[in-house]
Amino acid sequence: MKTELLNPANSAVIFIDFQPQMTFGVANIDRQTLFNNVLLLAKAAKIFNVPTILTTVETKSFSGNMWPQLLDIFPGQEPIERSSMNSWESGQFVAAVKATGKNKLIMAALWTEVCLAFPALEAMKAGFEVYAVEDASGGTSLAAHNAAMRRIEQAGAVPMTALQVLLEYQRDWARKETYNEVLDAVKEHCGAYGQGVEYAYTMVHGAPASRVAAVGH
């Protein structure tokens, strides 16, 4: 049910085609902001041990390797290489999705109008629920991105943001086993919200003002 909140036990996260050549074509969002949001989403999956799938298209002949910063978050995990723009046409990819055992698929991709829209539609047709991370996906124009999001939303996909995914997983600040890692991700990737957390740490709770000082203690 789409009214059920996301949690680490009912969902999987999928990163599609975060490669240099695809990044070059993004025009609907500042690319540094996109990069930041993708890494935040990846850290959310990592912190909560959510099954994660990485996939790339035409690495050697056109698109280049997946972003190394994304690969670093999932060391030892090889992206599924494809030739088709539609990852759902890869038997290996579909098998990996089914192997997660999760029905809720959190998807982010470059580009929104192709590499997100195509498998999102196919996954919903196959009976999966799709949660499209809008601010961690990019299209070749604002019109292309927005039209693709409307298309998959009309088909039943649920729009999300990267921060929303992270906080939906955490949900309760009493969940101390992930508390520090979540706030570290917020401070690094969430702009004004992260600065607010930093302020509370130092000015309210008396944490050292510098990371060097914190290590020294």
**Residue positions annotated with a catalytic role:** 115
Q: Which has the closest alpha carbon to 79: 45, 107, 54, 108?
A: 54
List own/partner pairs for 93-98 with CB under 8 A and 24 or more apart. 93/53, 93/55, 93/119, 96/53, 97/12, 97/14, 97/53, 97/123, 97/128
Three state DSSP letters for 66-90: CCHHHHHHCCCCCCEEECCCCHHHC
The encoded tokens of residue 206 equal 């008396």
